Amino acid sequence: MELDLENPLLSTFHDSIPSLFLIESDHMPSPPQSLKPTEFGLSIRREAMSLILHLSSNFNDPFLPYLSINYLDRFLSAQPITQVKPWVVKLTAISCVCLALKMKETEYSVSDIQENDEGFIFDMETIERMELLILGALQWRMRSITPFSFINFFISLFKFKDPPRVQALKARATEIIFKAQNDIRLLEFRPSIIAASALLSASHELFPLQFPCFRKAISSCSYVNEDNLVNCWNLMQEIAMDGYESVWDGVSSSSTPVNVLDGQFCSSSTTTSSGGDKTKNTSSEAAAAAMAVATVRLERDQKRRKIGCFPNDNSLMLPRIKQF
């Protein structure tokens, strides 16, 4: 069955939540100390991540490189690359992408992944041997539990009744999680803590007046360690606001409000019957999410001007906090 990062276990959402919290540490780089941000380690990781992003570019699925990099980080923590051998780094990146494609049940060929690449070209047998090495290091735990597995659970604590605002909050938190994967400092935090911190950052940006209630709801959750949440939240704030650029900006160069709405209406009147149709629907959903975020931000800014308590966007930048 295709791996869904929001529901990686083969069970219903509500039944799987306690299990997710219990076993999430098994899907983290272990031990985290082996991924200390040394210059050498950072260089290897950056190069491998860059290759993964390049190799995944033909598949139009942002969750594919995320899952591939998850495999990469877990593999490097168990089997670190100790010598600079470009072919080893490239083979590792290709194998992580291939494993992610298999877990997502995406059809591919080796030529698709290595198309137009220069330098080392690997045959399927070599890649499969590397895949087995990665599988052994990950103890065959390939249905990765990621921050996306906890987003819906934490959103349910907010008791939102307005679907567009739920969609906007989820879309912005997803953007932050994608961006946060680049920062090696976050590897020490559990996926659930990263999800909670991303939602806090998103809610603070989109719904500042309701933010104290959201913060209380998450920090009161029995599954959440408050000290870890505070530390991760402080780091997440830096990541979320540093060089802000929406990952949805690349959905379409013509995603004006009119075109986005057209896409949303068109997708609702079509039936998914093939892989190509599924990709089109996914793009429409992403565009709709981007539109929802824009709408919520516009409404938020209008309310600020009306009540006069948020003079400018700089007021959204919270100082580092010690406790909630």
Mean pLDDT by 10 residues, the chain (324 residues): 81 70 86 53 85 89 94 89 79 94 87 69 91 94 94 90 90 94 90 95 92 92 92 88 50 36 34 44 51 55 44 40 46
Separation of alpha carbons 184 and 200, rounded Å:
20
Tokens at 287, concatenated: 């565009």
Q: Which of 58, 55, 60, 151 is nearest to 99 (CA)?
A: 55
Chosen domain end from 227, 242, 257: 242
Q: Are residue 117 and residue 153 in the same domain, yes or no?
A: no
What is the model's pLDDT at position 91?
A: 92
Q: Are residue 112 and residue 206 in the same domain, yes or no?
A: no
- Cβ–Cβ < 8 Å for 138, 72: no
Residue 178 in any domain: the answer is yes
Chosen domain end from 190, 207, 242: 242
Residue 60 in any domain: the answer is yes
- Cβ–Cβ < 8 Å for 209, 245: no
Residue 100 in any domain: the answer is yes
Residue 268 in any domain: the answer is no
What is the model's pLDDT at position 48?
A: 92
Q: Are residue 51 and residue 134 in the same domain, yes or no?
A: yes
Separation of alpha carbons 71 and 55, rounded Å:
15
Q: Are residue 44 and residue 130 in the same domain, yes or no?
A: yes
Separation of alpha carbons 178 and 265, rounded Å:
27
Separation of alpha carbons 65 and 100, rounded Å:
8
Residue 247 in any domain: the answer is no
The number of beta carbons lying within 10 Å of the beta carbon of residue 159 is 9
State the chain's mean pLDDT as an integer.
76
Chosen domain end from 109, 138, 167: 138
What is the model's pLDDT at position 193?
A: 96
Residue found by looking up tokens 């000290």 in the block: 227
Q: Are residue 49 and residue 115 in the same domain, yes or no?
A: yes
- Cβ–Cβ < 8 Å for 197, 230: no
Residue 38 in any domain: the answer is yes
Full residue range of the structural domain in which residue 106 is found: 26-138
Q: Are residue 134 and residue 180 in the same domain, yes or no?
A: no
CATH code of residue 225: 1.10.472.10
Q: Are residue 126 and residue 94 in the same domain, yes or no?
A: yes
- Cβ–Cβ < 8 Å for 160, 169: yes
Residue 282 CB burial class (10 angstroms; 0-12, 13-18, ≥19): middle
What is the model's pLDDT at position 3?
A: 85
Q: Are residue 114 and residue 181 in the same domain, yes or no?
A: no
Q: Are residue 30 and residue 133 in the same domain, yes or no?
A: yes
C-alpha distance from residue 133 to each of 14, 33, 91, 127, 281 (Å): 34, 21, 11, 10, 36
What is the model's pLDDT at position 246?
A: 43
Separation of alpha carbons 98 and 189, rounded Å:
26
What is the model's pLDDT at position 304?
A: 45
Share of the chain above pLDDT 70, in %: 67
Q: In this structure, which long-range contacts are made by residues 115-119, counting pairs with CB atoms below 8 Å and at least 24 apart in sequence?
A: 115/58, 119/86, 119/87, 119/90
Q: Are residue 151 and residue 132 in the same domain, yes or no?
A: no
Residue 257 in any domain: the answer is no
Instruction: Encode pLDDT of 270-304 as tens digits.
Output: 333 344 454 445 445 555 555 555 555 555 554 44
- Cβ–Cβ < 8 Å for 152, 8: no
Q: Is the pTM of this model over 0.75?
A: no
Residue 177 in any domain: the answer is yes
DSSP for 181-242? TT-GGGGGS-HHHHHHHHHHHHHHHH-TTTHHHHHHHHHT-TT--HHHHHHHHHHHHHHHHT
What is the model's pLDDT at position 217?
A: 93
What is the model's pLDDT at position 297?
A: 55
The tally of domains found in the chain comes to 2
Q: Are residue 152 and residue 238 in the same domain, yes or no?
A: yes
What is the model's pLDDT at position 142?
A: 94
Instruction: Encode pLDDT of 202-226 as tens digits.
Output: 999 999 998 999 999 999 999 999 9
